[in-house]
Structure 1
Amino acid sequence: MLGQPTTSGASSLSMALREHGLHFFRSAVGTILPGPMLKRALVLETTTGCPRLVLRDQPFELKRNLYLVGFGKAVLGMAAAAEDILGEHLVRGVISVPHGIQETLQYRGLREMLLKPQSRILAMEGAKNNLPDRDALKAASAIQDLAEGLTAEDLLLVLISGGGSALLPAPIPPVTLEEKATITRLLASKGATIQELNTLRKALSLLKGGGLARFAYPAQVLSLILSDVIGDPLDIIASGPTVASSHSIQDCFQILTKYNLLNDLPESVQTVLSGSVTEHGTPQDFHHVCNVVIGSNRLALEEAKRQAENLGYLSVLLSDGVCGEVSTVAQLYSLLIQLVCLSTIRVSRNDSLKDKVRGALSNLVEELAIPRLDLMDALKTLQESHGDMPICLLAGGETTVHLQGKGKGGRNQELALRVALELHKAKSTAEGNYLERCEVAFLSGGTDGQDGPTEAAGAFCSQALVEEAEQEGFIVEDFLSNNDSYTFFSQFQSGRHLLMTGLTGTNVMDIHTVLIRAKGS
């Protein structure tokens, strides 16, 4: 379970880096749990003559006119908190939540994330393994029906979190659910980003790309959003059901061309993208919608940074926008670890090696174009402030995996394993023995507690992991070539490197943690 830390102060520095990494991850997730976030954003005022719902200082009068819909991995907890706040003022609600989540949260004792026994909110489960299915389609239809029945006197509270795209499937006819899922799966297998995936989803959906808001018109729509997308773009999170799309059909064709899928489109998809199906509903200016982001990856990272500083780490938040193919991002983290060890821990006086690593790192930073990332400024901060303090580097975002094999894994586990392999390669060179003088731990984990189709949230690694694996007969490259990171981590050392949290009930992308200290410190 994700509890509060039990350690504090410099005395806990004797703990293993791995335990600290887990500690910071749990603290980060704890601060973006749906209940506390929603209660910070939404206030019910009853002291005036007419009760009011206040959202970010904007009041809305309540006259038995409040309805609720929601969809996403964190929405069950958000709805439970909303139910506590709204009480009798809520008339009716429908939410679409992941398959099995109510039983899982009940089993884990997280009752605060569950609806009341006589709730006015209907929770419909679907999207098993985060894939749109018939159950999710039924839930989307129920949400559409509720929205269509509203009037100008009504308020619709919309709760949105990551995973909402799969939980709100409503393809534009004649596209079928299976056809839309096939296109999405093909794009994902080729390494398409969440922005690219959701651009296509919006174009093929009745409810995404502002469709839900159009169905709800003329009712006032209040949308509370937990972001799982880099930069918090409102029209990409859950494919923007309450936001006008910023993308065109031409953008869709460019994406399909990029991944060589134009010739693989079903006729129905071609029909919709060709514009022969008229977009439904009005209006286009969305003046009746109020969208508010109440939680994000940066909020989680800032809490992890506070926890690291409390434990005596010199901590730097690098970026909440890490993206790119997982193998390239692994190289970035490996080079960063090497440069920190060379420049800050001062384990080597090899200036030529330092310049070589710095040059390679700069090239990768330019190639990945990660937003809000200034590594050289971060290194300067570390060099000026370091002393003998251990170092914690924090980042977040979402990488992509270009599937080449048929193994079992997830982007976080594969990233951790690839970082371990890159560090092993660096350590194996004639000039790489300096890494032996540092303790290094790298953690990559999904804040929703589930990495790909596995029960793990992610994984840990150290610079010694590959060497230890080889001694036990594991060939890391073979597992990676088959995208089989979960199998490796579950078999190697009895799975001790796996990050196991169970479903957390929230979702703000991934958290990456790099912990470094000189041996013996």
Structure 2
Amino acid sequence: MAQILALSRSLHLQHKLRVGLASFRARSMSSLNTRARAVFSAAVEGVQPDMVVRRGLERHGDKLHVGGQSFTLTNNLYLVGFGKAVLGMAAEAERIVGDHLIKGVVSVPHGIQNTLRSHGKEKMLLENNSRITVMEGAKHNLPDTDAQKSAECIRDLASSLTEKDLLLVLISGGGSALLPAPAPPMSLQEKQDVTRKLAAAGATIQELNTVRRALSLLKGGGLAQCASPAKVVALILSDVIGDPLDLIASGPTVRSESSPEEVWAILDNYKLSESLPSSVKEVLSNSMPSRRSRMKNGPQEVKDNVLNVVIGSNTIALECASRKASELGLRPVILSPGVCGDVRSVARLYGLLSSFACCPGKEPPPELAAAILKLGPEVGIESWDLCRTMNVLVGERKEGWGATCLLAGGEPTVKLIGKGRGGRNQELAMRVGLELSDEEVKSGAVFLSGGTDGQDGPTEAAGAVTDGELKEEAASQGLDTDGFLANNDSFTFFSRLSEGRRLLNPGLTGTNVMDVHVMLLPPSPQKDLQ
């Protein structure tokens, strides 16, 4: 009888411990979920258009300071811009430069002014008495006749300037589609057909931009060439990994070093040379430098008169997120702002990092570290960044630090095989959740992936938040995770899962510096329960 009572008490205590541990994990995940969302919000807030312009552009009297240089203002300032975040950038720039601004033209996405008003973001709109003309176009983020008209107005303004003038150029993600200026006699449709066929054939973004620049009057330094001999200052909000100036909006203020021979080589490689329209062949038969020199002055003059400054990027967003994580009692570790590659490989990496941080024992097994390093090249992360991160995670384990906030950013890719709704952030979050669910020892990690523009693919969500309970939660609600992934239908999955509470819905943010990933790794629950 005594043995039965002792066994009963033991089972009761074990049940209480399991309940207590489950309760702790639930509270911990809820807390980490809230903090992950706060960290993401801080990342987005740190690259708001008005904030990045204020950091990058200062005025003291009649002096304009930018990028370590100073320019004298004598009512000689003109402004042009193109991109998803440019409207907010232009509004803040006009507030800074004041009456020295004579005239401006910005090309922005179709419907953005009404959208910003409906989201309560009036500070990103121009004043009623603004000297800047707003032109909307590029519906569905594709070049169209409205965007082409905007580009013509921008070109006309730039071409009218003299050596006494200063042109302020505002550039953000989406700028390429908003500045279409096909070189004559080629039509916009013909140019689009060429780039569409290249993309379908598997051309890289670098190859696509090389061809775009060759077929454009304004890309690849063409805009700066039009503005010469005026001074040109470009403020750039980067949406490209590594912030390469020649790739952001196809580099309208960056002199292109590409030759027609390089362009022909790309077209030959994808077997498109023979099928090109005669107008495209005519454009490519002329060298780009000579074509542009006929527009105005020699190419060397562009380089001397242009200052390009990146004022906002994924790196800056991650730094702001890191500061917020520290405020919330988390230990921040920035992995990389250059995550790329297939979302399946990226998800696997995050699953391995979670296992590495939280596996039992004092030292993670060497084979786990080797697997992480092997994935590095596939996801665009240098070995030294992975080694540095793993060293920090080992140190946290040994020294008993609190929860860790692993931060990264970039732009992974999704292989489209289905017809569902979703985007790379929601699919990545879903796949990471399944990785965490399959861990032998669930770490209690929480993962968030979100697009800084507030939109993930053709959905109203920016991304999603997930954890190791995802698979069990989906099964309890009759949701087939494999089926949703096979159809690239992550938005529908998260919308149905627990009434959409895992979705990330910040609304339109007015900025765009690619994606932000936040993975919160909790401390050992046993230690906290003692």
Does the CA contact (< 8 Å) of 1:458 and 1:499 recur in 2?
A: yes
Distance 1:329 1:255 in 2: 29
Percent of residue pairs identical = 54
Matched ranges for 1:65-464 at <5 A: 65-185=76-196, 194-252=205-263, 268-273=279-284, 275=286, 279-281=291-293, 282-285=297-300, 286-342=303-359, 347=360, 354-371=365-382, 374-386=385-397, 387-424=400-437, 427=438, 432-435=439-442, 438-464=443-469
Does the CA contact (< 8 Å) of 2:376 and 2:382 recur in 1?
A: no
Matched ranges for 1:488-507 at <5 A: 488-507=493-512
Does the CA contact (< 8 Å) of 2:198 and 2:208 recur in 1?
A: yes
Per-residue deviation, residues 94-114 of structure 1 (Å, max 9, x unmatched):
001112211122122222211
Distance 1:218 1:259 in 2: 39
Distance 1:307 1:13, change over 3 A: farther
Greater percentage in helix: 2
The SS at the match of 1:439 is: coil
Greater mean deviation of Cα atoms: 14-23 or 308-317: 14-23
Greater mean deviation of Cα atoms: 236-245 or 406-415: 406-415
- Pairwise CA distance, 1:516: 1.4
Does the CA contact (< 8 Å) of 1:322 and 1:395 recur in 2?
A: yes
Distance 1:248 1:329, change over 3 A: farther
Partner of 2:73: 62
Per-residue deviation, residues 177-207 of structure 1 (Å, max 9, x unmatched):
2343344445556775544433332222211
Pick one of 472, 475, 485 that aligns with 1:470.
475
Q: How many residues end up aligned between the 2 structures?
A: 492
RMSD: 2.5
- Pairwise CA distance, 1:246: 3.9
- Pairwise CA distance, 1:519: 4.0
Distance 1:371 1:158, change over 3 A: farther
Larger radius of gyration: 2
**Counterpart of 2:160 in structure 1: which amino acid?**
G
Q: Normalising by structure 1, what TM-score? A: 0.87
**Counterpart of 2:64 in structure 1: which amino acid?**
L
Greater mean deviation of Cα atoms: 132-141 or 465-474: 465-474
Structure 2's unaligned 5+ residue stretches are: 1-26
Distance 1:254 1:315, change over 3 A: farther
Per-residue deviation, residues 269-288 of structure 1 (Å, max 9, x unmatched):
45544557863233322211
Distance 2:282 2:428 in 1: 39
Does the CA contact (< 8 Å) of 1:448 and 1:509 recur in 2?
A: yes
Distance 1:259 1:325 in 2: 22
Distance 1:144 1:375, change over 3 A: same
The SS at the match of 2:90 is: helix
**Counterpart of 1:408 in structure 2: which amino acid?**
R
**Counterpart of 1:440 in structure 2: which amino acid?**
A
Greater mean deviation of Cα atoms: 236-245 or 60-69: 60-69
Distance 2:225 2:253 in 1: 8
Partner of 1:7: none
- Pairwise CA distance, 1:513: 0.8
Pick one of 482, 507, 519 that aligns with 1:514.
519
Distance 1:442 1:14, change over 3 A: closer
Distance 2:193 2:344 in 1: 25
Distance 1:314 1:262, change over 3 A: farther
**Counterpart of 1:33 in structure 2: which amino acid?**
Q
Distance 1:258 1:488 in 2: 40
- Pairwise CA distance, 1:406: 2.5
**Counterpart of 2:337 in structure 1: which amino acid?**
D
Per-residue deviation, residues 358-384 of structure 1 (Å, max 9, x unmatched):
222221113444258521221112222
- Pairwise CA distance, 1:298: 0.9
- Pairwise CA distance, 1:15: 4.9
**Counterpart of 2:467 in structure 1: which amino acid?**
S
Distance 1:54 1:19 in 2: 39
Partner of 1:6: none
Per-residue deviation, residues 147-179 of structure 1 (Å, max 9, x unmatched):
111112211110111111111111223443234
The SS at the match of 2:508 is: coil
Distance 1:496 1:258 in 2: 47
Distance 1:192 1:516 in 2: 38
Greater mean deviation of Cα atoms: 470-479 or 385-394: 470-479
Distance 2:250 2:75 in 1: 30
Matched ranges for 1:14-93 at <5 A: 15-46=30-61, 51-93=62-104
Does the CA contact (< 8 Å) of 1:217 and 1:283 recur in 2?
A: no
Does the CA contact (< 8 Å) of 2:416 and 2:488 recur in 1?
A: yes
Distance 2:520 2:317 in 1: 17
Does the CA contact (< 8 Å) of 1:193 and 1:400 recur in 2?
A: no
Distance 2:102 2:263 in 1: 39
Does the CA contact (< 8 Å) of 1:321 and 1:372 recur in 2?
A: no
Distance 1:483 1:246, change over 3 A: farther
Distance 1:269 1:407 in 2: 36
Q: Normalising by structure 2, what TM-score? A: 0.86
The SS at the match of 1:166 is: coil
Distance 1:176 1:458, change over 3 A: farther
Structure 1's unaligned 5+ residue stretches are: 1-11
